[in-house]
Chains A and B, each alone.
Chain A
Amino acid sequence: MKFSVIGATAALTIATAATAVHAGETSVTGYVEPEVQIFTQSASGNEQRRWNTSAAAEVTFESFWDNSNQWIVVKPFARWDLRDGNRSHVDMREAKYARVVDNWEFRIGMDKVFWGVTEAVHLVDIVNQTDLVESIDGEEKLGQPMAMVSSAWEIGTFTGYLLPYFRERTFPSLSGRPAFDIPVDETQTKYESGAKQRHLDFALRYNNTFDIWDVGASYFRGTNRNPIMVPGLDSGGRLVLIPYYVQTDRISTDIQATSGAWLYKFEGFWQDQLDEQNLQATGGIEYTLYGIFDTPSDVGLVAEYVWDDRGANSQNPFANDLFLALRWTPNDEASTAVLAGTTVDLDTQGFGFSVEAERRFGEDYFVSLEARFFGNVPRSDPIFSYSDDDFIQLRIARYF
């Protein structure tokens, strides 16, 4: 089991502070979520199996006081996994103290921040590291130690972040699935900066709404969360991938226009790292047909394109890709939703396809079924490793 020392320390500090705080409201909520995964193809690795089971739990302690102008949140997360020791992990998703004074907001501790507007990939979202063992879609994030100050004005909101400690991406082990065919050797992880994980990163962000436009602009300077995977050898002379975290300067923007049932979205960044400049962008539409066929059902459509000025490359699986998705929500009491999506690489015609269905049972159970399939993925594509890891996954969450 891995454990973040910094997270534990932060949690302890804040938990101690929390017990010292009286008055105000305190709540404890959370969930426990067992999971079963079935892999439809035989494994490529000797240690991989056709099925897996695991269970995750997350608890949220919240305490608000001072008329809700000050609060503490502590949110530990843990997963136990039958097969993959790397996926059995504990993380402090949040452990923060926050305070609001008029139009100013301050936060210190472990926290999670999201930037961006698109659905398929989140190009400009850089503050938190991806918890890749949780999901290969990159949506799950590790807690990030930070000090944040934000100020809201008529001309927009300005936010500054100091990020004093870097979190390494989590990777599945040899027995994990889905996983890279070549194992990741995290003992050899390399950094461009001599300060390694202690490099002080910082970020600035501006965001505002102008009528139908929601606009964000950001600057980030520090360790790129996305490692370059360098082939190398482990101590036994076996081929491995070594994560290499480089320093980056990045300017980004994210824009959404909302007009009737249509959402128009754009995200893009320019970055400078290892003496090379790179542009990446994504954009598209989201459209919802409300009350289809005179029923309460909605059907939503998303179409997005992802672009990288380097063309097809080993660092980015989304260099010239199209994403299409369809969502059906009957708007019933059980909050049923079904979502089907595909990503097609326009250079290679390799594709990924996923279907998710979810609904509530009773008041406290939430069940989600997910299937992911890959097809026609060439060896040169960074997601080739996943293409023999098609799977179906069932999760049953019990909220409390």
Chain B
Amino acid sequence: MHIQDWSYGRFGRALALATLMLAPAAVRAADSVSLPEDPTAKGLAIAEETDRRNQGFGDTKASMKMILENAYGETSERELRSMTLENPNAEEGDWTLNVFDKPRDVDGTALLTYAKILEPDDQWMYLPAVKRVKRISSVNKSGPFMGSEFAFEDFSSTEVGKYTYKWLRDEACPAPVADRTCHVTERYPEYEHSGYTRQIVWTDTTDYQPRRVEYFDRKDQLLKTLAFDDYRLYKDKFWRAHDLFMENVVTGKSTRLTWEEYSFGNGLTQNDFSTNALKRAR
């Protein structure tokens, strides 16, 4: 009789973070993309182009830091290391393993996710204090990740099939790239348990990377805005945003998420994304 180890809730919950690569792409001329006229087909085509430009990334390793700020300006920090393996099976999402460093009381806690498209992800959490690997429920899409303004579903991959789309208009991209043109597309979550009715995405027409996302809650009120910045190019092909700023327009809280030490082609295999690997994660 005890509940000690029934306490993985203490560090928040399952984090999907499946591909925080909200930002794929290749260096291609914008004019090489021909888009259909119909707004629904056009919205889908834009998402597919974004997705296509991230194909073949193989695997990545990176470190992530989050600074949470409340309405009074008080801050707290989160740090984790993340590994991702591209899943060549288009019917499923990528594999991700995250290991937490901060807060220190969750140091060593790790999360393994096999992302799916419309089905709930498969997720296992490792609790280092009790050396326990626990399969956990992943239906918790709309919950906050580590007390931040990011919900689990905000991380989870940009798999095209998770949404239906509608192109709205083209307009100048948001600052600091206001000199560029963005496709403005609305997308509607098709997976269960989403906290959103819709999202509006600004996709840069030059590189097909997202520049801004607006999230509308279940009552269709604007809840949060996400700004992508500090894009860097890897292997001459893959863009990654290194600065993501999520602002909750209702509560005034915000979270700045920064990526560091991105590396591609680490030779990771499925062995590095098993429940055994979870126990020895670094």
Which A residues are closer than 8 A to B by beta carbons?
Answer: 25, 29, 31, 64, 68, 71, 98, 100, 102-103, 105, 112-114, 116-117, 119-121, 135, 137-139, 150, 152, 157, 207, 209, 214, 256, 258, 260-263, 286, 288, 290-291, 294, 296, 298, 300, 302, 318, 323, 325, 327, 329, 331-335, 337, 339, 341-343, 352, 354, 356, 358, 360, 363-364, 366, 397, 399-400
| Beta-carbon contacts under 8 Å, B261-282 to A | 271, 274-276, 280, 282
B104 cross-chain contacts in A, Cβ below 8 A: 29, 31, 363-364, 399-400
B9 CB to closest chain A CB (Å) equals 4
A290 cross-chain contacts in B, Cβ below 8 A: 139-140, 142-143, 193
Docked-complex contact B276 and A119, CB < 8 angstroms? no
Docked-complex contact B143 and A296, CB < 8 angstroms? yes
SS class, residues of chain B in contact with chain A:
loop
SS class, residues of chain A in contact with chain B:
strand
A114 cross-chain contacts in B, Cβ below 8 A: 130-133
Residue in chain B with minimal CB distance to A294: B218
Measured in the bound complex, the distance between the Cα atoms of B236 and A144 in whole Å is: 50
Quick one: which of B4, B136, B276 contacts A135, CB cutoff 8 A? B4
Total A-B pairs, Cβ < 8 A: 156
Docked-complex contact B147 and A152, CB < 8 angstroms? no
B256 CB to closest chain A CB (Å) equals 14
Max count, chain A CB within 10 A of own CB: residue among B10, B136, B142, B218: B10
Measured in the bound complex, the distance between the Cα atoms of B70 and A207 in whole Å is: 44
Residue in chain B with minimal CB distance to A122: B5
Docked-complex contact A258 and B2, CB < 8 angstroms? no
Max count, chain A CB within 10 A of own CB: residue among B120, B132, B140: B132
Max count, chain A CB within 10 A of own CB: residue among B3, B9, B120, B144: B3
**Residue B187 lies at the interface, judged by CB distance under 8 Å to chain A:** no
A294 cross-chain contacts in B, Cβ below 8 A: 218
Residue in chain A with minimal CB distance to B114: A209
**Residue B76 lies at the interface, judged by CB distance under 8 Å to chain A:** yes
| Beta-carbon contacts under 8 Å, B1-24 to A | 1-7, 9-13
Residue in chain A with minimal CB distance to B267: A67
Docked-complex contact A260 and B120, CB < 8 angstroms? yes
Docked-complex contact B13 and A354, CB < 8 angstroms? no
Measured in the bound complex, the distance between the Cα atoms of B143 and A331 in whole Å is: 8
Q: Contacts A209-B275, A290-B193, A337-B9 known; A98 to B103 CB distance under 8 Å?
A: no
Docked-complex contact A327 and B9, CB < 8 angstroms? yes
A298 cross-chain contacts in B, Cβ below 8 A: 9, 13, 140, 143
Measured in the bound complex, the distance between the Cα atoms of B102 and A114 in whole Å is: 24
Docked-complex contact A105 and B147, CB < 8 angstroms? no
Measured in the bound complex, the distance between the Cα atoms of B122 and A343 in whole Å is: 31
Measured in the bound complex, the distance between the Cα atoms of B9 and A354 in whole Å is: 17
**Residue B195 lies at the interface, judged by CB distance under 8 Å to chain A:** yes
Known: A337-B10, A363-B102. 19 other contacts (CB 8 A): A100-B280, A102-B271, A113-B131, A135-B4, A150-B276, A152-B271, A152-B276, A157-B275, A157-B276, A262-B137, A263-B137, A291-B140, A318-B1, A333-B147, A335-B103, A342-B1, A360-B103, A363-B76, A399-B107
Q: Contacts A360-B103, A399-B107 known; A325 to B6 CB distance under 8 Å?
A: yes
B68 cross-chain contacts in A, Cβ below 8 A: 333
B197 CB to closest chain A CB (Å) equals 14
A296 cross-chain contacts in B, Cβ below 8 A: 143-144
Interface residues on B, range: 35 or more
Q: Contacts A263-B135, A354-B1 known; A331 to B144 CB distance under 8 Å?
A: yes
Quick one: which of B131, B136, B144 contacts A112, CB cutoff 8 A? B131
A333 cross-chain contacts in B, Cβ below 8 A: 68, 70, 76, 147-148
Docked-complex contact B9 and A329, CB < 8 angstroms? yes
**Residue B77 lies at the interface, judged by CB distance under 8 Å to chain A:** yes
Measured in the bound complex, the distance between the Cα atoms of B134 and A207 in whole Å is: 13
Measured in the bound complex, the distance between the Cα atoms of B3 and A329 in whole Å is: 14
Measured in the bound complex, the distance between the Cα atoms of B145 and A332 in whole Å is: 9
Docked-complex contact A360 and B105, CB < 8 angstroms? yes
* Binary per-residue interface labels of chain B (97-131) against chain A in the complex, 1 for a CB within 8 Å, 0 otherwise: 00000111111000000000000101000000011
A112 cross-chain contacts in B, Cβ below 8 A: 131
Docked-complex contact A343 and B1, CB < 8 angstroms? yes
Docked-complex contact A337 and B7, CB < 8 angstroms? yes
A226 CB to closest chain B CB (Å) equals 16
Docked-complex contact A323 and B137, CB < 8 angstroms? no
A42 CB to closest chain B CB (Å) equals 24
Residue in chain A with minimal CB distance to B129: A139
Q: Contacts A214-B135, A288-B137, A290-B139 known; A119 to B271 CB distance under 8 Å?
A: no
B120 cross-chain contacts in A, Cβ below 8 A: 260
Measured in the bound complex, the distance between the Cα atoms of B140 and A56 in whole Å is: 35
B105 cross-chain contacts in A, Cβ below 8 A: 31, 335, 360, 366, 397, 399
A135 cross-chain contacts in B, Cβ below 8 A: 2, 4
Residue in chain A with minimal CB distance to B130: A114
**A to B CB contacts below 8 Å, 23 in the list:** A25-B282, A98-B280, A103-B271, A112-B131, A135-B4, A137-B2, A138-B2, A139-B5, A139-B130, A256-B135, A286-B6, A290-B140, A290-B142, A296-B144, A300-B6, A327-B3, A327-B9, A331-B144, A335-B106, A341-B1, A354-B1, A356-B3, A366-B105
